[in-house]
Amino acid sequence: MATGWAGDGAVQEQIDATVKDAIQRARSQLPRGESLERCEECDAPIPEARRKAVPGVRLCIACQQAHDEEQQAFSGYNRRGSKDSQLR
């Protein structure tokens, strides 16, 4: 049941679009190509087990953790916003 100016299914369309955007963003960040033997950030050796487990790996574990923490700081932005967030 839609209310106001929203058409039937508008909420589901917004949810679907948000999920689709998140999937595209995650896929674009997947490593590609040959795994490196040394980290491209700090030049530390990347263990063979990591290179086999993560095809296309570019960073050592420490640098990857730092990169992931940095990405988390920016991932909370909802460009579409929700009705509740707009009312606050």
57 in a structural domain: yes
Domain containing 57: what range?
29-72
Predicted local distance difference test score (pLDDT) of residue 78: 56
61 in a structural domain: yes
- Tell me how many domains the chain contains: 1
> What is the chain's length?
88
Predicted local distance difference test score (pLDDT) of residue 54: 85
Give the pTM.
0.54
16 in a structural domain: no
Predicted local distance difference test score (pLDDT) of residue 80: 57
DSSP at 45: B
- Ranges under pLDDT 70 in the chain: 1-6, 75-88
CA dist 6 and 85 (Å) reads 17
Residue of 81, 87, 36, 74 whose CA lies nearest to 58: 36
Predicted local distance difference test score (pLDDT) of residue 32: 80
46 in a structural domain: yes
66 in a structural domain: yes
pLDDT tens per residue, range 20-30:
999 998 888 77
CA dist 83 and 85 (Å) reads 6
